[in-house]
Amino acid sequence: MSAAAHAKKGIAARLAEAAVLAALFALMYGVTRLFPGIHGGIGTIAAVGFLLLAGTLTCSLLEPFGLPHLTGYLLAGVVAGPHLLSLVDHQAVVDLTPVNGLALSLIALAGGAELRLPMLRQNLRSLSWATLVQNSLGLALVTAVFVAARPLVAFARDLPTAALVGVALLWGVLALTRSPSAVMGVLAQTRASGPLTNFTVGFVMTSDVVVVVVLALVLTLVRPLLEPGAVLSAAAFGAVGHELLGSISVGTTLGLVLVAYLRFVGKALVLVFIAFGLVLTEVIAYLRFDWLLVFLVAGFVVQNLSRQGEKLLHAIEGTGEVVYVIFFATAGAHLDVPLLRELWPVALLFFVARALVTALSARLSGRLSDDPPLLRRWGWAGLLSQAGITLGIAASIAREFPSFGPGFGALALASVGLAELVGPILFKVALERAGEARGGEAAAADPGAAG
């Protein structure tokens, strides 16, 4: 068949998909207007089905433009969400929160299983320098940017200097968070492999541990700045150790249980994943452990202390597309478009500042660790995305400090919205330029890719 025939068939298929997507939106629009009282179980089930179909069709339509699938899922959720067409109402989005917990637990489990000891040893120098530079320089520079941008931040204008520094440090910690879900989602689409892929997975997954520790330490240090009369407490530092060591212990135990199950049973894994994601996450959170860290450690144990790692990854990949569609379509529905429209100038400032600091830190750490040119050039690209973890930390900070919490949370939501939309696109471009994405081998010949 000729290239022209292939092109015509491609155009016809895209037009058909566009027609189906338009019909799907029209049908959902009509149903929600005719039966506005549909809520609860039926409304949530309808929302899941709609987001799955709409997200899948949207990402297919965006493929010719080279955009990540995640972008299609997000856009479908944004348009259908409660802030635009309201095809999926706020209650349905709230009801899907447990499904997001399931998705994040599987993503963390897969991420831990991707951390192979030989790969970590090979990249130990790069990861060590990147962790040190990204976190220390990132915290310092983003904090300074927040202080300098004080006139633009409504909730920070009238704060005393000490309190301003405290809030700025908390914003700096927020800037250290990454999105394992976005990284794994892009990698699931591109099937990428190579030095950039290994570095990004290693850094993003291990950064969860670092952020847990840094957040707890900064919260302890800034409380006297934000709450008059508060003092530093050794008990607070003990809580950090309890959460970190407890999460690692529980994760190790869970990993060994998974090893035994995979070896001696190995059936109905989807049901096991659902039980872990919907039930175990609540139990771990109740025990005040970091359940994302628990699942990350569990995946690491299965991969490196047994021969069941590939079996675990294969089982998770079988649910991968559905998991990513639901997670990112729901994240898009969560995105408050009116708020983003209101706060976009300052949110854009902080997003750009964070991106520049990340790129600068990557260049510096790359030189210190003597990374290859390709990694120096593109090592920052997978570190820009932010998603559920960032919003969870922002919500926690908002609850801790109600005096400025609402404004802090709103600005975080707007900034994360930009990172959700832009970050995956930049990472996919970097993988293609580095020649690591499937079908991206030609890009490896690009002289700029190794510069």
In this model, does residue 425 exceed pLDDT 50? Answer: yes
My answer on whether 180 and 143 are in the same domain is: yes
End-to-end CA distance of the chain: 39
What amino acid occupies position 83?
H
pLDDT class of 441 with cuts at 50, 70, 90: very low
3-class SS of residue 233: coil
Write down the pLDDT at residue 44. 72
Residues contacting 51, CB < 8 A, separation 6+: 76, 77, 80, 88, 325, 326, 329, 330, 333
> Which pLDDT does position 320 carry in this prediction?
62
Same domain, 50 and 109: no
Q: In this structure, are 91 and 107 located in the same domain? A: no
Range of 31-40, 109-118, 357-366 with top mean pLDDT? 357-366
Residues 352-361 pLDDT 10s? 999 999 999 9
Percent of the chain whose predicted confidence (pLDDT) is above 70: 90
Please state, in angstroms and rounded to a whole number, the distance separating the CA atoms of residues 181 and 423. Answer: 12
What pLDDT sits at residue 8? 44
Same domain membership, residue 268 and residue 388: yes
Q: Say yes or no: 32 and 169 in one domain.
A: no
Q: Are residues 132 and 228 in the same domain?
A: yes
Domain count for the chain, please give it.
2
- Which pLDDT tens digit goes with each residue over 241-275? 777 788 889 999 999 999 999 999 888 888 888 88
Domain enclosing residue 7, as ranges: 3-97
What is the CATH classification number for the domain harbouring 256?
Answer: 1.20.1530.20
> How far is C-alpha 173 from the geometric centre of its chain's CA atoms?
15
In the predicted model, what is the mean pLDDT of residues 414-433?
90
Contact (CB, 8 A) for 350 and 422: no
Is a pLDDT exceeding 50 seen at residue 445? no
Question: Residue 178 CB: number of other CB atoms within 10 A?
Answer: 27
Q: Which among 55, 74, 97 is the end of a domain?
A: 97
Q: 196 pLDDT band (50/70/90 cuts)?
A: very high
Answer yes or no: is pLDDT of 443 > 60.
no
- CA dist., res. 162 & res. 149, Å (int): 16
Structural domain includes residue 451: no
* Region 21-48 average pLDDT: 76
Same domain for 22 and 140? no
Confidence (pTM): 0.78
Q: For position 301, what pLDDT does the model report? A: 95
- Shared domain check, 110 and 55: no
